[in-house]
């Protein structure tokens, strides 16, 4: 038991030591390699982390750029919205204040009035109208006197009809806005020079608004003393008490005379002067007739129906104005306009639809929600019609003279037909007075009007009512007139031939002479303002 274990050989121990050293060295190498791998892995991880961080930073930068771009877009959109809001606010501010009247001056050409070219045009017009007056004296007036045309018609061709400025006549029911429209055109709203306005019947006078160098008010007696209105004296002092004039230094009045009339009111009795005859006097001389209606008062009473009946044959000059239209709800505008069209159309003499302008002609702003652009378009169209009346003064005057000459000729031929029938029916021993009265009382029995239409190619619709001739021959005995053939003389010729030549040749040549010499630009397809007229309801015009 006390023996020690045998010792290994030294060689083996050395080998084992070498192996142990190799193993330890291998372990150290593996450890070093693993350490290096760990180091490289850590470095790779660090590099990956760095690249990831770089990518993340790039993404963040891109997102920041996108955010900045979206912010810029939002800012632009906000800026545009602010601009549109500012524009809307400025437009609303403009509408909330008084409306501008610049378009009135532009369309009616106020800047052109008084220029050298305008003065030359006025001189030419004066020359042409003097030649027209001379033609009237030599060719038309002799037939008027021979057959007493003045006793059957109030339509004359005197100095007032030839030399007066164009006349714009405003008429319609009471409180429709006639005076307000005139004040708006002249810029006299809320001034001493303005016409009286109000919701109640504010005026019962015929008012002539004409040009003077300063504000001037004239009574009816003073107005009737002027050659242009001297013939109204036949209506008596009762009319002159309701007739007045206002003179203003306004450029529009240098080209046109404006007439304001009493508002038509049913059951209002006017006994001190012939109310309808006074209206007819102005209707016969008007170049433009504006019939104004309020949307809340479209009913046609007896008095208004009688006035519209007086307008028959003047459809080309008539324009209806549906005023105060911004009080109507936008969706009701066409319905209200159609109602006015339905009410007035049967009372006019034309089969064509009347022309209606829907507007609100005052300087106050439009009501909120009203179709402002539509109303402005309608107003421009109306102003352009007034401009045409101003520019076509000579054409309209010569056309009026020609129509008057045709009426005088038809009257003379009709009296001649009555005379021819009278001489056929009168016996040797018969009473000429009874025969003449019988023919005048029943001309259709003797086919007088039909015979004239067949023989002279005169339309029956261009001839007066036979009842007028019954009254005419009561005043002027039939047998006191001469037949047309008896009016001819060897030296002076036949008055009827001179009248025929004036109608067929002289008057058209006078118009051609003016058109050749005038420098006034006329383009009625396109208005002076460059705006194409589009009235709400259009109809074919008759001359």
Task: Identify the three-state secondary structure at position 195.
Answer: coil
Instruction: Report yes or no: 204 and 262 within 8 Å, Cβ to Cβ.
Output: yes
CA atoms within 13 A on the CB side of 501: 9
> What does the pLDDT read at residue 272?
86
Please tell me the predicted confidence (pLDDT) of residue 476.
94
pLDDT in tens, 157-168: 999 999 999 999
Q: pLDDT tens across 36-77, in order?
A: 444 444 444 455 455 555 545 555 655 555 555 555 556 555
Q: What pLDDT is recorded for position 198?
A: 72
pLDDT tens digits for 70-121?
555 565 555 555 555 455 444 444 445 568 889 999 999 999 999 999 999 9
What was the pLDDT predicted at 519? 85
Q: Which residues contact 284 (CB under 8 A, 6 or more apart)?
A: 154, 155
Closest to 405 in 3D by CA, of 171, 157, 235 = 157
DSSP state of 445: G
- What does each C-alpha distance from 213 to 251, 255, 301 come to in angstroms? 10, 14, 41
Query: How many CA atoms are closer than 13 Å to the CA of 504, on its beta-carbon side?
Result: 7
Cβ distance 347 to 300 under 8 Å?
yes
pLDDT computed for residue 391 by the predictor = 94
Query: Angle at CA 435, nearest 5°, toward 432 and 439?
Result: 135
User: Could you give all domains of the chain from N- to C-terminal order, each with its CATH number?
Assistant: 108-147+393-524 (1.10.268.20), 166-370 (3.40.50.300)
Q: Which of 161, 117, 134, 132 is nearest to 518 (CA)?
A: 117
- DSSP string of 448-481? HHHHHHHHH---GGGSPPHHHHHHHHHHS-GGGS
467-477 mean pLDDT: 93
- Residue 513 has a pLDDT of 96
Q: Is 536 helix (H, G, I), strand (E, B) or coil?
A: coil
Q: What is the pLDDT of residues 328-371, one digit of tens each?
A: 999 999 999 999 999 999 888 777 889 999 999 988 888 888 89
Res 100: pLDDT: 84
d(CA 160, CA 165): 9
Q: What is the DSSP letter of 502?
A: I
pLDDT, one tens digit per residue, over 215-236 is: 999 999 999 999 999 999 999 9
Which residues, 6 or more positions from 159, have their beta carbon under 8 angstroms from its beta carbon? 133, 227, 228
379 is written with which tokens? 């107003």
**8-state DSSP, 151:** G
Average pLDDT for 311-334: 92
443 alpha-carbon distance from chain centroid: 44
Write the pLDDT tens digit of every residue in 168-208: 999 999 889 999 999 999 999 888 888 988 766 666 899 99
Round to whole Å and give the CA distance between 141 and 404.
11
How far apart (Å, rounded) are the C-alpha atoms in residues 149 and 156? Answer: 9
pLDDT at residue 523, rounded to an integer: 45
Tokens of 320: 């209806």
Residue 132 pLDDT more than 60? Answer: yes
pLDDT computed for residue 234 by the predictor? 92
Under the banding of pLDDT at 50, 70 and 90, the label for residue 17 is: very low
For the purposes of burial, counting CB atoms within 10 Å of the CB of 341, is it exposed (0-12), middle (13-18) or buried (19 or more)?
A: middle
CA angle (435 as vertex; 433, 439 as ends), nearest 5: 115
With a cut of 50, say whether residue 542 has pLDDT above it. no
* Measured distance CA(220)–CA(296) in Å, rounded: 33
Query: Is residue 393 within a helix (H) or strand (E), and if so which, with residue range?
Result: helix 393-425
- The reported pLDDT for the residue numbered 11 is 40
Residue 267 confidence (pLDDT): 73
Residue 532: the pLDDT is 43
Helices 393-425 & 116-135 angle (0-180, nearest 10): 10
- Between CA 174 and CA 261 the distance in angstroms is 10
Look at residue 447 and give its three-state secondary structure. Answer: coil
- Sign of the C-alpha dihedral, residues 52, 54, 57, 61? negative
Alpha helices in 248-369, H assignment, sequence order: 275-285, 302-310, 333-344
So what's the pLDDT on residue 459?
73
Cβ 309 vs Cβ 318: under 8 Å: no
Over the stretch 400-450, which tens digit does the pLDDT of each residue have? 999 999 999 999 999 999 999 999 888 765 788 999 999 999 998 988 888
Mean pLDDT of 280-284: 93
Region 128-134: mean pLDDT is 97
């Amino acid at each position: 038991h006390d023996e020690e274990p045998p010792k290994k050989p030294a060689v083996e121990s050395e080998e084992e030591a070498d192996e142990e050293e190799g193993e330890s060295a291998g372990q150290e190498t593996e450890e070093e390699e693993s350490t290096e791998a760990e180091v490289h892995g850590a470095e790779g991880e660090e590099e990956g982390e760095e690249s990831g961080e770089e990518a993340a930073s790039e993404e963040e930068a891109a997102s920041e750029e996108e955010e900045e771009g979206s912010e810029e877009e939002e800012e632009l959109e906000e800026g545009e919205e602010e601009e549109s809001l500012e524009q809307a606010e400025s437009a609303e501010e403009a509408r909330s204040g008084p409306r501008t009247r610049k378009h009135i001056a532009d369309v009616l050409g106020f800047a052109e009035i008084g220029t050298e070219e305008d003065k030359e045009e006025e001189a030419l017009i004066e020359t042409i109208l003097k030649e027209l007056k001379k033609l009237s004296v030599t060719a038309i007036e002799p037939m008027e006197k021979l057959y007493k045309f003045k006793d059957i018609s109030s339509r004359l061709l005197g100095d007032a009809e030839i030399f007066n400025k164009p006349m714009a006549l405003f008429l319609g029911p009471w409180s429709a806005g006639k005076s307000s429209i005139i004040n708006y055109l002249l810029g006299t709203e809320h001034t001493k020079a303005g016409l009286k306005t109000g919701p109640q019947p504010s005026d019962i006078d015929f008012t002539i608004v004409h040009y003077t160098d300063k504000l001037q008010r004239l009574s009816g007696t003073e107005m009737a003393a002027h050659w242009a209105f001297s013939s109204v004296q036949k209506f008596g002092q009762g009319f002159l008490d309701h007739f007045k004039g206002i003179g203003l230094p306004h450029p529009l009045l240098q080209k046109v005379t404006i007439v304001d009339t009493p508002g038509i009111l049913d059951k209002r009795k006017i006994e001190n002067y012939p109310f309808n005859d006074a209206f007819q006097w102005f209707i016969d001389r008007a170049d433009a007739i504006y019939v104004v209606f309020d949307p809340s008062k479209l009913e046609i009473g007896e008095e208004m129906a009688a006035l519209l009946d007086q307008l028959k044959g003047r459809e080309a000059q008539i324009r209806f104005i549906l005023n105060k239209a911004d009080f109507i709800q936008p969706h009701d505008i066409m319905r209200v306009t159609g109602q006015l069209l339905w009410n007035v159309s049967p009372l006019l003499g034309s089969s064509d639809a009347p022309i209606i302008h829907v507007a609100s002609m005052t300087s106050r702003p439009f009501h909120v929600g009203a179709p402002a652009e539509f109303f402005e378009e309608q107003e421009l169209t109306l102003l352009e019609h007034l401009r045409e009346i101003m520019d076509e003064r000579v054409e309209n005057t010569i056309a009026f003279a020609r129509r008057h000459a045709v009426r005088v000729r038809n009257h003379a031929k009709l009296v001649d037909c009555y005379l021819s029938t009278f001489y056929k029916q009168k016996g040797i021993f018969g009473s000429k007075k009874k025969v003449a009265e019988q023919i005048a009382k029943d001309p259709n029995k003797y086919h007088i009007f039909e015979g004239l239409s067949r023989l002279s190619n005169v339309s029956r619709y261009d001839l007066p009512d036979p009842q007028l001739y019954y009254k005419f021959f009561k005043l002027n005995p039939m047998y006191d007139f001469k037949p047309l053939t008896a009016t001819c003389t060897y030296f002076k010729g036949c008055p009827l031939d001179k009248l025929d030549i004036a109608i067929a040749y002289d008057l058209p040549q006078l118009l051609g002479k003016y058109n050749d010499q005038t420098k006034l630009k006329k383009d009625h397809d396109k208005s002076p303002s460059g705006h194409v007229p589009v009235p709400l309801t259009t109809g074919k015009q008759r001359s």
